Structure 1
Amino acid sequence: MAKQRPSFLLLFSLINLIISPLPAFSFSGENPTARRLLVLLDDLALRSSHSIFFNSLISRGYQLEFKLADDSSLSLQRYGQSLYDGLILFAPSVSRFGGSLDQNKVLEFVDAGHDLILAVDSSASDLIRGIATDCGADFDEDSEAVVIDHLSYAVSDTEGDHTLIASDNFIKSNVIFGDKAIEAPILFRGIGHSVNPANTLVLKALTASPSAYSANPRAKLSSPPPLTGSAISLVSLMQARNHARVLISGSLEMFSNRCVMMFYFLMAKYNRYEKSGNEQLVTEVAKWVFHERGHLKAINVKHNKVGETTEPGMYRVNDDLEYSVEIYEWSGKSWEPYVADDVQLQFFMMSPYVLKTMSTNKKGLYSTSFKVPDVYGVFQFKVEYERLGYTSVSLAKQIPVRPFKHNEYERFIPAAFPYYTASFSTNFSVTKPNISIFDHVVLV
């Protein structure tokens, strides 16, 4: 008997499984590290010129897929599912992406909770500048402008235009740069950008020195530069409200092997360093962007009356209650207890009636207890925890608070005993005894 041929649908499914990129680790709420990365390049030669950075990602378990930015097969989704967890854009000069990819698709990718590293140089196209602007970074409007520093520049640039600069103006954050401080300065050649100070989602991770400015090195200055000093952001970070993270660098060369291995600096204060801090910077910041650090989750939220274990449907005024929550931080491989002394709970109705700092057992559990205010209405348990470099923890749950029932009030209030005594004393003092009429008869 002849073997039955597999149906077309089954055959198509098998082919799709074979050609689809299957991750070793799936990206999810329980595993927030982005493992599947699409790397878009202007030139495939960047794979070798920036190999130290790429190899650091591969050594930590990331799956990198390299493609030219104008590849006709580019796509970030298939059948409504994301093919990648993160995107690295090292294609500053591309004016139009290939395939179905465009500026809106990149932004939708970030809006879906995925991460992005974008590095540019002086050849940055309007397409790339537009993506950066939508992520909160505004590059210098002059397309020929680069960051210049006549004081803090690399020794190899002594006879040039001082566009290969050195900076050590880092934001102070161990969660972003790691526990080991970056002591050596960063080599940077590229364009500067500004960040709107009112935008709380974007921060300047590395800024230029006070002597730097943004201008065209081949043109004579006819007016003050629009960007000067520490207002120039060299590397900026953005963390969206959906916890997607974006790195924007005005220098593609900063990630290159040349800047990573560069020796010696002109400034006396830099002479003691034999190697730049570029490798440490790009490695540590990439860990943050791809959620190897600073990703928090809250589980097991509980509240109940003191002495009970079940969660009630409502509380009564003046009840004693307990609240607890467990908070963990993703280490890149597993969830570890998050330890802090500034996690606060609000018992909220229009404004906080109770604000308590929760204590921790240093194993992830945070708890506190308090008395329900003598105000009835609909309250909320709220935990709003936002710290630099960490994903936010936002918890809220409504609970009604009722007054005493008529039969729950105390019959005799101890504080009112003086009034009780005064009342009874008054009654006894004005009450006359019942005397018979015959007691008043006078015998004649």
Structure 2
Amino acid sequence: MWLRWLAVCVAALLCSHAFAGSATGNRVLVFAEEPSAYEGWVSSLSARGYSVGVQDASTELEHAIYENGERAFDHIALLAPAMKEFPAGLRPQQLVSFLQDGGNMLVALSSELSEAWRAFAREFDLEFAQRETLLVDHFGYDKSIDTGNHAAVQLGGASPYFARGGPLDVPVFREETRAAVNATPFVYRGVAHWLGPNPLAFSAIAPPLSAYETDVPQVSGAPGRWTAEGIDAIEPLYEARAPLVGADVYSSDATASLASALQLRDNSARATFIGSTEVFAGLYKGDVQCKVIDELVGWTFQERGVLRVERTAHERIAADEADVRPEYEEEPGAAHMYRIKDNVRFSIDLAAFEDEWKAAPRDLDLQVSVVMLDAYVTEPLVATTETVDGERPVTRYEATIQLPDRHGVFSFKVNWKRHGLTYVVTSDTAPVRPFNHDEYPRMLSSSWPYVAGAFSTMAAFVAFVALWLSMPSPSGAKSKSA
């Protein structure tokens, strides 16, 4: 027995490439059917620094995800696709509350998925294929482990049957992992699903264009002596106008996917659904297999792609040394009130977690908007310097904004959402006043036509009076008076 555990531990150490922690905590609950099948993967989690609690789905729930109103775990891995109903303590409402409280969730399903899981997936705008079906690819499958139904689908390699050049989505997987999969295929055996038009969700692993979802015969035997049962019972899975195939990877209304990921809008908590439990069990072996699964799990548990706002600031740009405002409006380095048409410098400091906290990337397409109900001004934020905030390195993004010619209460808002990275959402509020009565210039250039009109009117009146008084009296005026 000890030899078995020694082999499992050695395999875990080989599969865990770095002792990486999570930005949100290292407590993991693994809820699985037949937990012994996932010993290698669970051991790799422990080797990477996680504190793992394992719960057998066939027994009474021992580990509650909440204790005294607080989360008892930071992450949940659910590998029980055949479970017909959720146990007390893991109801769908509690799982959603767990996400809303900042926890992360990984769900692995299979061709045995129950209707309860199908209904739960629909809450995330995912529609899984029918029960007892598998993803099949007759052009790219692993012959060494194939059982005759071509369901051991190869992803990557030299296959030309991939949209955008590969099966892995860039924000989730590192570039070296994508290159490794393009050289040595990743083997997937499981089901596919539809990803609906959810703007917060995206496909992390895409199927090949030559693959399709179908019910498969029961194949037994050995290479060269296969026997199949249930061939006559196979029926079309979908109507001809709506099949689930790899060619639908980037359709306009829905997306075919093998693993889909999403982040909650308010707190960027992550949830990942993958249609295979075998990639965590029998297929969890070999360098490429371990890399893909470890990075998918690592992204879900917020080991990478995590951004945090360390500081936001805004201040007025003075025209010169004499341009000074009262203390109740601004202090050195901080402004409490602005005036219309002021030039304002807005800055935001970001840190990124990639196994440890470091300065954020400098190529993020951030932008800041000056908003009062609607956005009046929007300016791009540009990375300027990398500095240290306390003991943590950060990247500072800045923008210079001219406030609109309208007074009121405005907000400086950054609302940046991109797939694979933590959302950056901030809002700083500041009042904007009009000009005071003594701040207007003494003479406006636009007033010259009106001034010229007034003076020309006065000059014309004086000229008229002078002409009137200088005119001689009428000749008949004296004779009439005499």
Superposition TM-score, scaled by structure 2 size: 0.74
Partner of 1:266: none
Mean alpha-carbon deviation: is it higher for 125-134 or for 424-433? 424-433
In the alignment, which residue of structure 1 is the partner of 2:344? 321
Aligned to 1:369: 400
Structure 1 unmatched runs, 5+ = 1-26, 262-274
1:342 to 348, 352, 365: 365
Spell out, residue by residue over 1:109-140, the C-alpha distance to the aligned partner (whole angstroms, 9 max, x if none): 22322111111222222333333333332211
| Structure 2 letter corresponding to 1:81 | E
Q: In the alignment, what sits opposite 2:5? A: none
Helix, strand or coil at the partner of 1:260: coil
**CA distance 1:341–1:192, shift in 2 (3 Å):** closer
Query: Gaps spanning 5+ residues in structure 2: where?
Result: 1-20, 157-161, 218-230, 249-255, 319-330, 387-394, 474-482
- Match for residue 236 of structure 2? 223
2:32 is the counterpart of 1:41: yes
CA–CA distance in structure 2, aligned partners of residues 137 and 153 of structure 1: 26
Q: Aligned equivalents of 1:332 and 1:254: distance in 2?
A: 24
1:179 aligns with 2:202: no
1:245-304 superposed Cα distances (whole Å, 9 cap, x missing partner): 11211111122354533xxxxxxxxxxxxx7x3221111111211111111121322122
> Which residue identity does 1:38 align to in structure 2?
L
Task: Please state how far the C-alpha of 1:202 moved relative to its aligned partner.
Answer: 1.7
Shift of 1:57: 2.2
CA change 1:315–1:260 in 2 (3 A) is same
Q: Report whether the alignment pairs 1:383 with 2:379.
A: no
Alpha carbons of structure 1 residues 420 and 208: separation in structure 2 relative to 1, 3 Å: same
Change (3 A) 1:40 1:349: same
CA distance in 2: counterparts of 1:100 and 1:224, whole angstroms: 35
1:74 counterpart (48, 57, 63): 63
Aligned to 2:106: 117
Matches within 5 A, 1:263-342: 277-307=288-318, 309-342=332-365
Matches within 5 A, 1:357-436: 357-363=380-386, 364-417=395-448, 420-421=451-452, 423-424=454-455, 427-428=458-459, 430-432=461-463
Q: 1:245 aligns with which of 260, 264, 270?
A: 270
* Cα distance in 2 between the residues matched to 1:366 and 1:428: 60
Structure 2 letter corresponding to 1:161: N
1:192 match: 192
Q: Check if 1:155 corresponds to 2:166.
A: no
| Corresponding residue pairs, total | 394
Please say if 1:131 is aligned against 2:120.
yes
TM-score normalized with structure 1 length: 0.79
What displacement does 1:430 show? 4.4
Pick closer, same or farther for the CA change 1:203–1:291 going to 2, 3 Å.
same
Q: Which amino acid aligns with 1:223?
A: P
Q: How does 1:198-213 map to 2 (within 5 A)?
A: 198-213=197-212
Q: Residue by residue, what CA displacement relative to the aligned partner does 1:210-248 show, whole Å, maximum 9, x if unpaired?
A: 222212112455436342224331111121223111121
Deviation, 1:356, is 0.9
Residues 343, 413 of structure 1: alpha-carbon distance in 2 compared, 3 angstrom cutoff: same
CA RMSD of aligned residues (A): 3.0
